[in-house]
Chains A and B, each alone.
Chain A
Amino acid sequence: MPTDTLTTPPRSSEVGSAMAGATAGATPRIRGLRCKNCQRLEALGPSYVCPACFGPLEVVYDYDVIRGRLDRATIAGRPPGIWRYLELLPVEARPARGLAVGSTPLVAADRLGPAIGIDRLWLKDDTRNPTLSFKDRVVAVATARAIEFGADTLACASTGNLAGATAAAAAAAGLRAFVFIPADLEQAKIDHALAYGATVVPVEGTYDDVNRLSMEVADELGWAFVNVTLRPFYAEGSKTLAFEIAESLGWRLPDAIVAPVASGSLFTKVARGIDELIAVGLVEAKPVKFVGGQAAGCAPVASAFAEGSDVVKPVRQPDTIVRSLAIGSPADGRYALELARRTAGSIESIPDEVTAAAIRTIAATEGVFSETAGGVTLAAAQAARESGVIDEEDEVVVLLTGNGLKTPDARTFGWPEGASGRRAQAGQPGLAPAIPPSLAAFERWLGA
Chain B
Amino acid sequence: MSAVRIPTVLRPATGGQKQVQVAGDTVGEVLNGLASAYPSLAAQLLTPDGDINRFVNVYLNDTDVRHLDALATPVGERDTLLLLPAMAGGCACACCACCCCDPVSDTCACPERAPAG
Residue contact B100 to A339, C-beta cutoff 8 Å: yes
| A322–chain B nearest beta-carbon distance, Å | 20
Q: Is A39 an interface residue when CB atoms closer than 8 A count as contact?
A: yes
Residue contact B85 to A49, C-beta cutoff 8 Å: yes
User: How far, in whole Å, are A36 and B54 apart by their CA atoms in the complex?
Assistant: 13
Residue contact A342 to B100, C-beta cutoff 8 Å: yes
Residue contact A56 to B62, C-beta cutoff 8 Å: no
Q: Which of A327-346 contact B (CB under 8 A)?
A: 329, 331-332, 334-336, 338-339, 341-342
Central interface residue in A60, A216, A231, by most chain B CB within 10 Å: A216
Point out the residue from A34, A51, A311 that lies within 8 Å of B9, measured CB to CB.
Answer: A51
Residues of B within 8 A of A61 (CB): 103
Residue positions of A touching B, CB distance < 8 A = 34, 36-37, 39, 48-56, 58, 60-61, 63, 208-209, 211-212, 215-216, 219-220, 228, 231, 263-264, 268, 271-272, 275-276, 279, 310-312, 314, 316, 329, 331-332, 334-336, 338-339, 341-342
Q: Which of B67-108 contact A (CB under 8 A)?
A: 67, 82, 84-92, 95-100, 102-104
User: How far, in whole Å, are A270 and B96 apart by their CA atoms in the complex?
Assistant: 18
Q: Known: A49-B9, A316-B67. Is A331-B86 also a contact (CB below 8 A)?
A: yes
Main secondary structure of the interface of B (DSSP, over half): loop
Residues of A within 8 A of B89 (CB): 36-37, 55-56, 331, 334
Q: Is B14 an interface residue when CB atoms closer than 8 A count as contact?
A: no
User: How far, in whole Å, are A56 and B55 apart by their CA atoms in the complex?
Assistant: 8
Q: Is B26 an interface residue when CB atoms closer than 8 A count as contact?
A: no
Residue contact A268 to B85, C-beta cutoff 8 Å: no
Residues of A within 8 A of B9 (CB): 49, 51, 54, 219
User: How far, in whole Å, are A52 and B64 apart by their CA atoms in the complex?
Assistant: 23
Residues of B within 8 A of A339 (CB): 99-100
Residue positions of B touching A, CB distance < 8 A = 7-9, 43-44, 53, 55-57, 59, 62, 64, 66-67, 82, 84-92, 95-100, 102-104, 109-112
Q: Known: A37-B55, A314-B67, A342-B109. Is A331-B87 also a contact (CB below 8 A)?
A: yes
Q: Known: A49-B9, A54-B55, A219-B7. Is A335-B84 also a contact (CB below 8 A)?
A: no
Residue contact A63 to B104, C-beta cutoff 8 Å: yes
Q: Which residue of B lies closest to A228 (CB)?
A: B87
| B116–chain A nearest beta-carbon distance, Å | 15
Listed A/B pairs (5) with beta-carbon separation below 8 Å: A63-B103, A215-B87, A219-B8, A314-B67, A338-B99
Residues of B within 8 A of A216 (CB): 82, 84
Residue contact A334 to B66, C-beta cutoff 8 Å: no
Residue contact A34 to B97, C-beta cutoff 8 Å: yes
Task: Given A52-B44, A271-B99, A334-B90, output 4 extra A-B contacts at Cβ < 8 Å.
Answer: A54-B86, A209-B62, A220-B8, A272-B99
Residue contact B99 to A231, C-beta cutoff 8 Å: no
| A146–chain B nearest beta-carbon distance, Å | 18
Residue contact B44 to A53, C-beta cutoff 8 Å: yes
Q: Which residue of B lies closest to A271 (CB)?
A: B99
Residues of A within 8 A of B84 (CB): 212, 215-216, 219
Residue contact B55 to A39, C-beta cutoff 8 Å: no
Residues of A within 8 A of B104 (CB): 63, 279
User: How far, in whole Å, are A310 and B53 apart by their CA atoms in the complex?
Assistant: 16
Q: Known: A61-B103, A63-B104. Is A212-B62 also a contact (CB below 8 A)?
A: yes
Q: Known: A53-B44, A54-B9, A316-B67. Is A335-B59 also a contact (CB below 8 A)?
A: no
Residues of B within 8 A of A48 (CB): 85
Residues of B within 8 A of A312 (CB): 90
User: How far, in whole Å, are A50 and B86 apart by their CA atoms in the complex?
Assistant: 11
Central interface residue in B102, B104, B109, by most chain A CB within 10 Å: B104
Residues of A within 8 A of B59 (CB): 212
User: How far, in whole Å, are A220 and B89 apart by their CA atoms in the complex?
Assistant: 22
Residue contact B111 to A276, C-beta cutoff 8 Å: no
